[in-house]
């Protein structure tokens, strides 16, 4: 059984810097759909609390806080810390090339939805 520490290295898709975790702020799940007024209690609860928590491929938000200040998204494996790619936050779903890369690396992966 391994147990040590990590110090993630993620490439900021805006400034191209390979940024160390200390330069970044994590922001949990990516591609969230916001539910505001008019949504049901269930929708609102799911949006606020029932966040994805997979052991495996995960899409998440990071901010290059001590760099360019931009939020970006990362596809990362929570079980191995492998990073499949990073991409700008201004998209509705993960880019196709990253999806392809994940499928190649994780044939059993059920897809991002």
Partner 1 sequence: MSTRLAKGGRLIDRAAALEFSFNGKRLKGYRGDTLAAALLANDQMLVGRSFKYHRPRGIVAAGPEEPNALVNLGSGGRLEPNQRTTVTELFDGLEATSQNHWPSLEYDVGVVNNYVSRFLPAGFYYKTFIHPRSFWKHVFEPVIRQSAGLGKAPKDRDADRYEQAYAFCDLLVVGGGIAGLQAALVAGRAGARVLVLEQNAHWGGRAPVDGDVIDGKPAGQWVDEAVAALEGMETVTLRARCMAAGVYDHGYVLADEKVADHAPGDGRPKHRLWRIRAGKILTATGAIERPLSFAGNDIPGVMLAASVRDYVVNWAVSPGDRTVVVTNNDDGYRTAIALREAGLAVPAIVDARASPAGDLVARARALGLRIEAGRGIAKVKGGKRVTSVAICLQAGEGAVIDEIACDAVAMSGGWSPVVHLWSHCGGKLIWDMEHACFRPDPARPPLNHDGGALVVAAGAANGAMTADAALLDATAQAEAAVAALGMKPKKAKAPLAEAVVEGPMEAVWIMPQGASIELKSKMWLDYQNDVKVSDVQLAAREGYESVEHTKRYTTLGMATDQGKLSNINGLAVLAQALNEDIPQVGTTTFRPPYTPVTLGALAGEARGEIFQPLRRTPMHGWHEKNGAYFEPVGLWRRPYCFPRAGETHEQAVHREVVNTRTALGLLDASTLGKIIVKGPDAGKFLDMLYTGVMSTLPVGKCRYGLMCNEQGFLSDDGVVARIDEETWLCHTTSGGADRIHAWMEDWLQCEWWDWQVYTANVTEQYAQVAVVGPNARKLLEKLGGMDVSKEALPFMAWADGTLGGFPCRVYRISFSGELSYEIAVPASHGAAFWEALHAAGAEFGVMPYGTEALHVMRAEKGFIMIGDETDGTVIPQDLGLDWAISKKKADFLGKRGQQRNFLASGERWKLVGFETLDGSVIPDGAYIVASGANANGQGNTQGRVTSTYYSPTLKKGIAMGLLHRGPERMGDVVEFNTVKGGTVKARVVDPVFYDKEGEKQNV
Partner 2 sequence: MKRYSVFAIAREALRHHTGWERAWKSPEPKKEYDAIIVGAGGHGLATAYYLGKNHGIRNVAIIEKGWLGGGNTGRNTTIIRSNYLQDSSAAIYEKSRSLYETLSQDLNYNVMFSPRGVMMLAQTHHEVRGYLRTAHANALQGVQTEFITPQRVKELCPILNIDGPRYPVLGALWQARGGTGRHDAVAWGYARACSEMGMDVIQQCEVKGVRSENGKVTGVETSKGFIGCRKLGIVVAGHSGQLAEMAGFRLPVEAVALQALVSEPIKPCMDIVVMANTVHGYMSQSDKGEMVIGGGTDGFNNYTQRGSFHHIEETLRALIETFPIISRLKMLRQWGGIVDMTGDRSPIISKTPLGNCFINCGWGTGGFKAIPGSGWAMAELMAKGEPGPLAAEFDMWRFKEGRFIDESVAAGVAH
Pair of tokens at residue 11: 């490439």
Binding mask 31-50 for partner 2 (x = CB under 8 A): ----------xx-xxx-xxx
Pair of tokens at residue 85: 């790619």
108 binds, options partner 2, partner 1, none, Cβ within 5 to 8 A by partner type: none
112 binds, options partner 1, partner 2, none, Cβ within 5 to 8 A by partner type: none
Query: Which residues lie closer than 8 Å to 17 by C-beta, 6 or more apart?
Result: 11, 23, 64, 67, 68
CB-count exposure of residue 95 (10 Å: 0-12, 13-18, 19+): middle
111 binds, options partner 2, partner 1, none, Cβ within 5 to 8 A by partner type: none
Pair of tokens at residue 69: 């200040």
Contact pick of 9, 79, 91, 104 for partner 2 (by CB under 8 A):
79
Binding residues for partner 2, per CB under 8 A?
Answer: 1-8, 21-22, 25-28, 41-42, 44-46, 48-51, 53-55, 58, 60, 78-81
């Amino acid at each position: 059984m391994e147990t040590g520490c990590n110090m993630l290295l993620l490439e900021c898709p805006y400034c191209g810097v390979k940024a160390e975790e200390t330069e970044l702020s994590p922001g949990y799940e990516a591609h969230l759909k916001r539910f505001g007024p008019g949504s049901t209690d269930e929708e609102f609860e799911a949006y606020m609390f029932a966040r994805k928590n997979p052991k495996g491929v995960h899409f998440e938000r990071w901010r290059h806080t001590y760099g360019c200040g931009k939020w970006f998204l990362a596809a990362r494996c929570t079980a191995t810390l492998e990073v499949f790619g990073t991409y700008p936050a201004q998209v509705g779903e993960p880019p196709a090339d990253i999806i392809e890369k994940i499928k190649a690396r994780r044939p059993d992966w059920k897809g991002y939805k």
